[in-house]
Amino acid sequence: MSKKILLATTGSPASFGAARVAFQMAKRYGSEIIVFHVIGLPTKAYSQIVHDVRTGDEVQVDDDYKSWVEDELRNTYARQIEEAEGGVSFVLTTGVPHREILRTARSEDVDLIIMGASSGSIDHIDYKGYTGSTLQKVAKAAKCPVMTVHRESAAYRGGFNHVLFCTDFSKQANHAFKYALNTARECDCDMTMFHALDVGGKVLAQNEIEDRLIEARKRMRSLYGSQMGDFKNYDVEAWEGIPYMEIVKLARERMADLIVMAHHAGESDSDEARLGSTLEQVILRASCPVVSVNKPDKV
Amino acid sequence: MPEGTLCNKQPINTDEQLKLVLNDKGGKQYYAEMEQLDVDTEKLWNTIQKTMKSRLKTWLEICAHCGLCSESCFLYQVNGRKPEQVPSYKIQSTLGEIVKKKGQVSNEFMRHCMDVAWSWCTCCNRCGQFCPHGIDMGVMFSYLRGLLYSQGFVPWELKIGSGMHRVYRAQMDVTTEDWVETCEWMAEENEEEWPGLEIPVDKEGADIMYTCNAREPKHYPEDLAEAAILFHVAGENWTVPSEGWEQTSLSMFAGDWECCKDNVENVYAAIERLKPKRAIGTECGHAHRATVIEGPYWVGREDGQPPVPFMHYVEWLLEALETGKIKIDPAKRIKEPVTLQDSCNYVRNQGLKNVTRKIIEYIVEPGYFREMAPNKEYNYCCGGGGGFNGIGKYRPQRNVALLKKLQQIQDTGAKLVIAPCHNCWDAIRDLEEEYEIGIRWSFLKPLVINMMIVPDHLKPEE
Ligand code: SF4
Ligand code: SF4
Ligand code: SF4
Would the CB of B122 count as within 6 Å of ligand 3? yes
Has residue B19 been placed in a domain? no
Quick one: angle between helices B395-412 and B422-435, nearest 10?
A: 90
Residue nearest to atom 6 of ligand 3 (CA): B385
Pair B319, B387 in one domain: no
Please count the structural domains in chain B. Answer: 3
**CATH class of domain segment(s) A4-149:** alpha beta
Has residue B294 been placed in a domain? yes
Last residue of a domain, one of B273, B302, B323: B323
Has residue B128 been placed in a domain? yes
**Residue B373 is part of a domain; what is its CATH number?**
3.40.50
Window 228-267 of B: residues touching A by CB (8 A cutoff) are 250
Has residue B462 been placed in a domain? no
Percent over 70 (pLDDT), chain A: 84
B81 — phi, psi (to 5°)? Answer: 50, 40
- Most B CBs within 10 Å, among A46, A60, A124, A168, to test the B interface: A46
Quote the pTM value: 0.89
pLDDT band at A51 (very low <50, low <70, confident <90, very high): low
Pair B188, B81 in one domain: no
Would the CB of B87 count as within 6 Å of ligand 2? yes
The pLDDT of residue B282 is 96
Ligand at minimal distance from the CA of B340 is 3
Chain A: residue whose CA lies nearest to B434: A125
Residue nearest to atom 2 of ligand 1 (CA): B124
Contact of B462 with chain A, judged by CB distance below 8 Å, is answered with yes
Antiparallel, parallel or unpaired: β A49-52 and A58-60 = antiparallel
Pair B128, B267 in one domain: no
The pLDDT of residue A274 is 45
pLDDT band at A62 (very low <50, low <70, confident <90, very high): confident
Q: Which secondary structure element, helix H or strand E, spans residue A193, and what is its range? A: strand A190-198
Pair B336, B250 in one domain: no
Pair B220, B135 in one domain: no
Q: DSSP assignment, residue B453?
A: P
- Most A CBs within 10 Å, among B218, B223, B250, B445, to test the A interface: B218
Pair B342, B361 in one domain: yes
The pLDDT of residue A43 is 58
Last residue of a domain, one of B295, B323, B351: B323
The pLDDT of residue A156 is 64
Atom of ligand 2 nearest to the CA of B87: 6
Pair B182, B310 in one domain: yes
Distance from CA of B275 to the nearest CA of A (A): 31
Pair B129, B240 in one domain: no
Number of H helices, E strands in chain B: 22, 7
The pLDDT of residue A63 is 81
Q: Give which of B205, B216, B283, B286 is closest to B241, Cα–Cα.
A: B205
Cβ pair B423:A45 closer than 8 A: yes
Interface contacts (A, B; CB < 8 Å): 66
Query: What distance in angstroms lies between residue B396's CA and the mean position of ligand 1's atoms?
Result: 18
Domain ranges of chain A: 4-149, 162-292
Cβ pair B390:A102 closer than 8 A: no
Last residue of a domain, one of B323, B354, B381: B323
A298 — phi, psi (to 5°)? Answer: -120, 30
Single-letter amino acid, residue B197? L
Pair B343, B202 in one domain: no
Which residues in chain A have Cβ-Cβ distances shorter than 8 Å to B161? Answer: 46
Pair B262, B217 in one domain: yes
Tens-digit pLDDT string for chain B (462 aa): 589 999 999 999 999 999 999 888 889 999 999 999 999 999 999 999 999 988 999 999 999 899 999 999 999 999 999 999 999 999 999 999 999 999 999 999 999 999 999 999 999 999 999 999 999 999 999 999 999 999 999 999 999 999 999 999 998 889 999 999 999 999 999 998 999 999 999 999 999 999 999 999 998 999 999 999 999 999 999 999 999 999 999 999 999 999 999 999 999 999 999 999 999 999 999 999 999 999 999 999 999 999 999 999 999 999 999 999 999 999 999 999 999 999 999 999 899 999 999 999 999 999 999 999 999 999 999 999 999 998 989 999 999 999 999 999 999 999 999 999 999 999 999 899 899 999 999 999 999 999 999 999 999 886
Please say whether the beta carbons of B439 and B428 come within 8 A. yes
Would the CB of B190 count as within 6 Å of ligand 1? no
- Which one has a higher pLDDT value, A123 or A29? A29
Query: What distance in angstroms lies between residue B9's CA and the mean position of ligand 1's atoms?
Result: 27
The pLDDT of residue B76 is 97
Using only C-alpha atoms, what is the Rg of chain B? 22
Nearest to B23 among A45, A63, A106 (CB): A63
Return the CATH superfamily for domain A162-292: HUPs (3.40.50.620)
| ipTM computed for the complex | 0.82
Pair B253, B275 in one domain: yes
The pLDDT of residue A160 is 86
Distance from CA of B396 to the nearest CA of A (A): 13
Q: What is the pLDDT of residues A237-290, one digit of tens each?
A: 999 998 999 999 999 999 999 999 988 655 444 444 444 578 888 888 888 999
Using a 10 angstrom Cβ sphere, with 0-12 exposed, 13-18 middle and 19 or more buried, the burial of residue A188 is: exposed
Give the structural domain span for B214: 168-323
Q: Give which of A186, A150, A162, A175 is closest to A261, Cα–Cα.
A: A175
Would the CB of B72 count as within 6 Å of ligand 2? no
Q: Give which of A269, A27, A66, A97 is closest to A105, Cα–Cα.
A: A97
Please say whether the beta carbons of B11 and B151 come within 8 A. no
Query: What distance in angstroms lies between residue B442's CA and the mean position of ligand 1's atoms?
Result: 26
Chain B: residue whose CA lies nearest to A294: B192
Largest CA distance in chain B: 76
Q: Which secondary structure element, helix H or strand E, spans residue B28, and what is its range? A: helix B28-34
Q: What is the pLDDT of residues A106-122, one digit of tens each?
A: 999 999 999 887 644 33
Nearest to B220 among A45, A96, A141 (CB): A96
Cβ pair A44:B192 closer than 8 A: no
